[in-house]
Amino acid sequence: LLNVILGLELPTRGKVVIRGNDITHKTANQIAKFRHQVFGIVFQRAEWVRSLNVLQNVALPLSINGVGKKEREEKAWHRIEQLGMEDHANYIPTELSGGQQQKITLARALINDPPIIVADEPTGNLDTNSAEKVMQLLKDLNEKQQKTILMVTHNIDYVRYASRTVYIRDGRIIEGSKQFLASN
């Protein structure tokens, strides 16, 4: 489902409309540009440019937008600091623990200030305290900055953070589907 929403895969039927844009019939390049502008993505498994340190990896999406080096680094530092990872800014991401990498992935997802955050198990590798901080940050982004958070989790404890919950089992929407489908 996330791959279809992000335009990484085509739906088997129907269309995908995001912020008034039907992405179903766009070219791969158009979808990639749209995805870069609209989504901040936290994948379950982080992908890094191994020759760049944490600060540079977080800033990378800004360089694609032509943002100057000083501004990129300031914004990246702010996001890294927001997640309590400033002591690790000069590390190579693969030198960090899985949980630390997940926080840095979130920092990178937020760097372009996207309207929609898509998070696939964003707390999966975090200890309870760190996971709660990440969940609170996502909640604040939603409530204070009006960002849409689309999160996949197997942790039922985090349902309390959601304003809408959709349950999927064996590829089918189950509980919560009436509320979900009525509003779309």
Amino acid letter, 123: T
Tell me how far apart the alpha carbons of residues 84 and 60 are, in angstroms, rounded to a whole number.
19
Please determine, for residue 104, whether its predicted confidence score (pLDDT) is greater than 50. Answer: yes
pLDDT in tens, 62-90: 998 889 999 999 999 999 998 889 999 99
Amino acid letter, 156: I
State the residue for tokens 């779309």: 184
Tell me how far apart the alpha carbons of residues 120 and 164 are, in angstroms, rounded to a whole number.
16
Please determine, for residue 29, whether its predicted confidence score (pLDDT) is greater than 90. Answer: yes
